[in-house]
């Protein structure tokens, strides 16, 4: 039997129910919560035929390793999303919009990046298998359901994966504070992969050298850099704006 993963929090569990309720083995909930949000949630689960089990706070915290579960924990199987780059590109309709994360190790940052990727209509988030955080329960909760809709593809060799994208006609654009061209001078309405480095460290040398071009986000204030999820959102939505201007609609 496939290993079940743990999802927690109203957003993450509700998103999974809406996406594919059949993958949820069971939902454990805190019976001491009798507020309207919990009652509506349990009614939705019942309507969708998902089994619910009352559990005390100690058990919920033991399952999640967190006290931020909001009284809702699900044990669920995997959803069907693209598992590799070839499978991903086969399913993309229109110009690809991909987010590549090089060296993001904080699950909160990963979750936030998945959330902005979903909001922008990106087709996937790609990251190296090493030196990167896995898609754990914390990342899924922060993603607020986006982990169930946006493929998170990890690769053994990021530079090789970027070359695979290039061979498929995807233009690989890295973000670098030292780049001469700005975000707003860069053409982003075609098939692109936006590469974001870890906050502070930026992209690794080989990743930078593999990119087709580099751009920087114009900064007017005193801070030197943006959080990686904020920078991802800025870049993704500039691409969305440019695509809308030429009649391309994401997803």
Show the CA angle centred on residue 190, arms to residues 184 and 191, nearest 5°.
Answer: 120
Q: What are 201-220's pLDDT values in tens digits?
A: 789 999 999 999 999 999 98
Cα angle 194, 192, 206 (rounded to 5 degrees) comes to 50
- The C-alpha atoms of residue 146 and residue 112 are separated, in whole angstroms, by 9
Provide the pLDDT for residue 200. 72
Q: Measured between alpha carbons, how far is 138 from 219 in angstroms, rounded to an integer?
A: 30
Number of Cβ atoms within 10 Å of the Cβ of 247: 7
Q: What is the predicted pLDDT for the residue at 5?
A: 85
**Higher pLDDT residue, 196 or 250?**
196
Walk me through the domains of the chain, giving residue ranges and CATH numbers: 5-76 (3.30.1330.30), 85-245 (3.40.1280.10)
pLDDT in tens, 85-141: 999 998 887 899 999 999 899 999 999 999 999 999 999 999 999 888 888 888 988
Q: For the segment 181-204, what is each residue's pLDDT rounded down to a tens digit?
A: 999 999 999 999 999 998 777 899
- List the one residue out of 222, 121, 96, 235 whose CA is nearest residue 176: 235
Count other C-beta atoms under 10 Å from residue 68's C-beta: 11
**Digit-coded pLDDT (tens) for 29-42:** 999 999 999 999 99
Question: % helix / strand / coil in the chain, to the nearest 5?
Answer: 40, 20, 40
Answer whether residue 145 shows pLDDT above 90: no
For residue 124 the two structure tokens come to 């996937």
Element (H, E) at 239: helix 228-245
Instruction: Say what the alpha-carbon torsion angle 240, 115, 77, 29 is, to the nearest 10 degrees.
Output: -140
Quickly state the pLDDT bin for 2 (edges 50, 70, 90): low
Instruction: Name the band, by pLDDT with cuts 50, 70 and 90, for residue 1.
Output: very low
């Amino acid at each position: 039997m496939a290993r079940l993963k743990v999802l927690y929090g109203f957003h993450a569990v509700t998103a999974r129910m809406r996406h594919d309720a059949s993958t949820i083995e069971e939902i454990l909930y805190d019976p001491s919560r009798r507020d309207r949000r919990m009652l509506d949630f349990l009614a939705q689960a019942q309507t969708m035929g998902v089994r619910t089990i009352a559990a005390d706070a100690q058990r919920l915290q033991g399952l999640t390793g967190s006290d931020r579960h909001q009284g809702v924990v699900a044990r669920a199987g995997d959803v069907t999303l693209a598992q590799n780059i070839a499978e991903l590109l086969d399913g993309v309709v229109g110009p690809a919009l991909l987010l590549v994360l090089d060296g993001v190790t904080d699950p909160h940052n990963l979750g936030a990046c998945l959330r902005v990727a979903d909001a922008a209509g990106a087709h996937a988030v790609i990251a190296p298998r090493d030196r990167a955080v896995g898609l754990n329960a914390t990342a899924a909760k922060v993603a607020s359901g986006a982990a169930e809709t946006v493929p998170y593809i990890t690769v053994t060799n990021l530079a090789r994966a970027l070359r695979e994208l290039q061979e498929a006609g995807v233009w690989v654009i890295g973000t670098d504070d030292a780049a001469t061209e700005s975000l707003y001078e860069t053409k982003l309405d075609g098939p692109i992969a936006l590469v974001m480095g870890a906050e502070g460290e930026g992209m690794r040398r080989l990743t930078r050298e593999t990119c087709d071009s580099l751009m920087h986000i114009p900064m007017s204030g005193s801070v030197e850099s943006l959080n990686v999820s904020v920078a991802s959102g800025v870049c993704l939505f500039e691409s969305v704006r440019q695509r809308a201007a030429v009649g391309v609609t994401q997803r």
